[in-house]
Structure 1
Amino acid sequence: MSRTPRIALIVTSTRDSRWADVPTQWMLEQAKARTDMEIELVDLKDFDLPLFNEPASNMWMPSSDPAAVKWQEKLAEFDGFIFSVAEYNHSISGALKNALDQAYNEWVRKPMTAIAYGSMGGTRALEHLRHIAIELQMVPVRSAVHIGGADFFTVHPMAGGKPLSEIEANIAPAATAALDDLVWWANTTIAARDAEAAKAA
């Protein structure tokens, strides 16, 4: 039976002074305007994950830390993921890497995309994230949103500080493409996972 994909939009910066909420809320609005997905905002700040300290990934054995289990249970609700990605020193935040490591089974065979930002558009961070996603058996889609260069310095509070509406015309087509890709792959992987589960039943 077909169903509407459930997608998590994950805020991956946990700093008190983060700017992440601005691009995240904009991406949330783009997703909410569609009828082919259900979107939920998931904030890493709300999970207070410890540094990974399990004997092994939950691919091999159940996690013992209640915070990790809570995180895994939340991820299991979704059919795909959008990451809001800040670039820190050419890569993703430590909080995101830790959150990725705290689960395994819940990421598998689900698509992901991102809205990435930084002076270079978060390109290097998202490239690292895609490599990690492949190892976790996610499906990184081709399209993503990048806020960089003149656009980034127009809207970031340490530069121009203007509202995101100032650059919306530049990034909206990328958001449409990313969400189109995500929904296609979410529907495809849902069907494949359902068929596999039915065969095993």
Structure 2
Amino acid sequence: MELKESIDSHFEKFNDRLSVVENNVRLIQDEWSEFKNSKSTCDAKYDMNDIVAEIEERKLRSSNVMLFNICESTASELATKIQTDLDQVTSILGTFPPPKKVVRIGTPKPNITRPLKIRFDNKVIVKEVLRTNRNNDNRQFHFHPDLTNMQREINNTVRKEYKDRLARGESDITFKYKNNQPYITKKIDPPVYERSKK
């Protein structure tokens, strides 16, 4: 009886580990599929090292979000500047969990407000923050995903294609995002409802 219980216990642990492995494989397949789509969009050639590095960088950035147009502190002490940024971000986030870290990106320049990189505990919070930002009526500030250099290159390429097509007279197209990947699609006219005749 004890042997059977021991075998059953080991079998359950094996199944649990197998489920974790299968889940990780699915995640890698999804990331690979997304990467291949990005790769074809920017029409560039990458070797396997580039692909692995890109996937890893996207994983690292998946718990980050960028915040633009937030005034910088004029204090001389670095600790005061960081605390001011953290207080502003916490106030803007409202009921969202506070970030793990906030940091200004870039070299300070006169009359230029540097963006803030905000790191959270996980990417679920990032998705919710970005989703909420779509309904943000206060255009004083705005959130964006923390994109890799390759993703920014893809964005620029697709945006340029979109502008070129508009310039050539294509008025029935629009620019959208899916999973942070830009694409051009046909506009969908809203349905027309006819008032019923009595």
Q: When you count helix as a share of all residues, which structure comes out higher?
A: 2
Short-chain TM bin:
under 0.3
Using the size of structure 2 for normalisation, the TM-score is 0.23
